[in-house]
Every structure is written in structure tokens, then in C-alpha cells.
Structure 1
């Protein structure tokens, strides 16, 4: 189901990689992923999250702070039993691995534009087809997927619609206005207002909202490294002043913050 990112022809297996009829060849990295991001599709030398951001997110997620978010995503994915699924913008694979556990018989794919992220994601679920690729030019055939996941990731709605077969669905997971509100109140003089459902205005004709729910809970960050990792994996790590970031990291008492996520499931209409 993979397509050539250069000419869009179907890719076939070749020794240690894939090749298209025109001879465009893509070798598999030793970690197990395929790099399907041609240099002409890059906006920078190493696009996507850098190593520091990837490591911060991996360390934070491995501590289990967002485990309920991943668990609920996996439960919702398991309700649909797709033959083939794709995690768009998979990062270092924390949520992807949970989906893979919930869908053991399905053919799973995951992509991110960050090579550093995908290199580490490969270790979480070796059976998933891991790809370094652009979310705006997903190297999969039209109507080849029955389930898409987009967790904290930018989304090209028309590309998502192209990938889904009729009746298939996209699960979008993103923050609500209450997400990390305590952190934002400490970092900024004025907290920017956020509209929870603004993404609904971007949904194209042919995609219909079939389900929506919100998951909300509190987490307690006791030590400085956990708070530092949370800052580093969010835009607040570079938006807020150094003084306020340091104050959050070094405060003596445990830091309790709200996690609030919205799950929206959109179905591709026939």
C-alpha cells in the first residue's frame, strides 16, 4: 500500500527496502523505519522535533503521566477493528504502540517528519510500519486505510480524507482550553483564550463528526525533571521567559496540573 513519494507509483519490496517501477529506491534504516521524505519535500535540513524535544517527550510519557489519554485512545480504536490504520504525526510512538496493542490483527502504519522521533518509535512496536514522511504527502494509496489517528499533531484534512476508505474514520485528539491551565497561568501574565472546537470549521465536505468526548484528570509533578520535560515537549518551553520556566521547575511543592483532552471521531462518507 506504500507509494513512491517522488512519482506516487506503488512501491514494491526490494532487498532491505522498497522500490517503484521508475527505479526510485528507499532503503530501510537499521532501526527498522523507511525514510520516504525526499530532500525536495523538506523545509529544513532536519525537519520536525529535534532530539531534545523528542527525549523530553519520551521521558515524560514513560513516567505514565498521560497514560489515561493513551488508554482511552486505544479503547476507541478497538471499537472499529480496521484492516489497516495509520498514526499521522506519531512522534516517538507512545500512542502508536497503544493502538497497535489494541489492534493486533490490523496492518499498522505510523509516520512523522522527525527522523529523531521515528528512530526511537521503532523500539516501541516493531510490527508497525514506521515511516519518516510528510503529513502533507502521505506515501499511502488512496482509500487504503480504515482508521486514522492524529494526536497533538497538525492535520491536513483533505489528505486524511484521501487516505480513508468510505466508512473509515479519523480520531483526532487535542487539548481543550483547560489543558495545563495551571502551568499557563504561572508562565504568562495573560492566558490566551482557546476555542475547543475551532478545528470543526476546517472539516471538509464528505467528513462527518460521529463521536465526541472529553477526558479530564489531574497529574502531580513532584520533581523538577518531570516539570522540565513537560515544558520542553510543549511550545511553552520556548514561548515563556527563562525566569518563569525556572520558577516552575524549581518550586518546592508538588505541581498539580489539569490534563484535558478532546476526542473527535470523523467518518468518511460514501
Structure 2
């Protein structure tokens, strides 16, 4: 499996970037060094809203450990089934908000080129070091470092969905797959934290102009037999900020726990 040179545009002037001696450079002499792990940081300082934007180190480590146990592999299998059914295998693929590359690398084949972008530098560093056959960069989803109509397949798993920017980089007839939580997602975990746990609101549909061609629900129970997996699940969610020390102690003592995974997958297509 080989990897070609990445196709990026300059985040400062929108001119094409060329990889020259381990630096991505444009004709206006803007330069971005490729890190030793293989990724490139294309997030201008003025685009940062904090010193270290994105998920913190604790969330990153917890998510990586949790995903490595395969609890979300049924979701990946469903995503890949849609990819295999609808995609042209040679079209470039983009993972919006790629994190540690869990979903990114599983879309890589011998015939395609796959990109992952995340605003959190530490997650991108992990992804690039671990999955060297994909291209990873640090960037904001609000201003992606790619030319217009470059990608044929784009997906977003829990990441912010920015329709105008996603549509800009999609080819005519290209596809956008979104994965969002359905009503019962992690409800049992939420019930331990909140006095009155609410189901996820599934009424919000941020895509207005692309054509919805398929929608499916994926629901299955996750059975935990190790407390560390439960704690990792908690740590990778926003619920962690509401967890009391007493709850952490309670979870540490659990030898079994069952929690629902509940997702909505929506596949959209851009008009020709």
C-alpha cells in the first residue's frame, strides 16, 4: 500500500502547496514544515481560539484506549458498507474531525487517498505516527486546506457539520456521511450522572442543501467487563465534567455494565 504526496492549499492565501524538502510551500513563500510523525500543521495562529484547541490529553488517551477495544467497530463496519455500496474507490476520502485516526485508516485501500483533519494537534500527532498510509493535518473545519471540489467521499463522526465548507470541497455527485447520536446513545451512563437524564435530541438536521439519499439507525448494547473501559468511555464524553468523585469510585468498583450505542447515519449527495 503506497501513499502519494498530499494535495493541500495554503491556509493563508489559498494557493496550492507543494512538498519541498519536508516543507509545504506555496508560490507566495508561505511555508509549513512537515513534522517527523508525517503530519503538517495548517492552522494559522490567528485561527486558534485557545492555546491548545480541541480535546484535552485526558480525553484523547481515553478515547484511543476505548476505541482500540472495538466497542465502536460495528459503527465503522456500517460506514464502510455504505462506502463500498456508493463510492468510487479511486475518489479521495476525507475524515472531518479525525481524532486519532480510528475511522480514517479503516477507509484506506490500495486505490484511494485518505485525509484526516483535526484541530487538536496531539490527536493528529498520534494518528500520523500510527497510520502512515493516510495524510493528516492540523486545521479548522471552518476553513479547510483543500481546493474546491476535491473529495468524492467525506464523513463526519460527531464533529461539527459545516455544510457550506463541506459542500465546497465535495466533487459534483460527491457524498457526505454524517454520524450523530440517536435517542438512546449512552443513556445508561447518562443516568448515572444526571438526576434526570434526557434522550438525545435528533430533530436537528444541519444539512439543508445536499440531497439525503439514505438514513439508517444503528443500535446495539455494549457489554463491559472491565471498569477501565467504563471509565474511558466516561472520560471521552462531555459527561466527564459532571462526574463526581463518588461516581468515579462507583464505576471503578463495577465488574459489569451494559450501555447502549445508538447512532444515526445519514448519507447525502451533492448535485452534479
- Given that 2:184 and 2:199 are in contact with CA atoms closer than 8 Å, whether structure 1 keeps it comes out as no
The counterpart of 1:96, out of the listed 91, 97, 104, is 104
Aligned residue in 2 for 1:85: 93
**What is the CA-CA distance between 1:239 and the residue it aligns to?**
2.6
- Given that 1:71 and 1:98 are in contact with CA atoms closer than 8 Å, whether structure 2 keeps it comes out as no
Find the aligned partners of 1:250 and 1:23 in 2 and give their Cα distance. Answer: 57
Aligned residue in 2 for 1:12: 18
Find the aligned partners of 1:157 and 1:224 in 2 and give their Cα distance. Answer: 39
* Cα deviation code 1:146-200 (max 9, x no counterpart): 11010111121111011101100101111101111111112111112422241x2
- Given that 2:181 and 2:200 are in contact with CA atoms closer than 8 Å, whether structure 1 keeps it comes out as no
Find the aligned partners of 1:248 and 1:188 in 2 and give their Cα distance. Answer: 15
* Cα deviation code 1:89-126 (max 9, x no counterpart): 000011111111xx431111110001110111113421
Find the aligned partners of 1:51 and 1:182 in 2 and give their Cα distance. Answer: 25
Number of aligned residues: 264
- Given that 2:57 and 2:122 are in contact with CA atoms closer than 8 Å, whether structure 1 keeps it comes out as yes
Find the aligned partners of 1:6 and 1:231 in 2 and give their Cα distance. Answer: 38
- Tell me whether 1:123 sits opposite 2:134 in the alignment: no
Tell me the TM-score normalised to structure 2 length. Answer: 0.93
| Comparing 84-93 and 183-192, the one that deviates more | 183-192
Aligned residue in 2 for 1:225: 228
Find the aligned partners of 1:188 and 1:139 in 2 and give their Cα distance. Answer: 40
Please list, as runs of the form range in 1=range in 2, the aligned pairs for 1:139-154 lying within 5 A after superposition. 139-154=145-160
**What is the CA-CA distance between 1:66 and the residue it aligns to?**
1.1
- Tell me whether 1:266 sits opposite 2:258 in the alignment: no
- Structure 1 segments unaligned to the other structure (5+ residues): none
**SS class of match (1:94):** coil
Output the aligned Cα RMSD: 1.3
- Structure 2 segments unaligned to the other structure (5+ residues): 1-6
Q: Residues 212 and 104 from structure 1, CA distance in 2 versus in 1: closer, same or farther, beyond 3 angstroms?
A: farther
Find the aligned partners of 2:70 and 2:241 in 1 and give their Cα distance. Answer: 24
Find the aligned partners of 1:232 and 1:84 in 2 and give their Cα distance. Answer: 33
Aligned residue in 2 for 1:54: 60
- Given that 1:221 and 1:254 are in contact with CA atoms closer than 8 Å, whether structure 2 keeps it comes out as yes
Find the aligned partners of 1:105 and 1:32 in 2 and give their Cα distance. Answer: 20
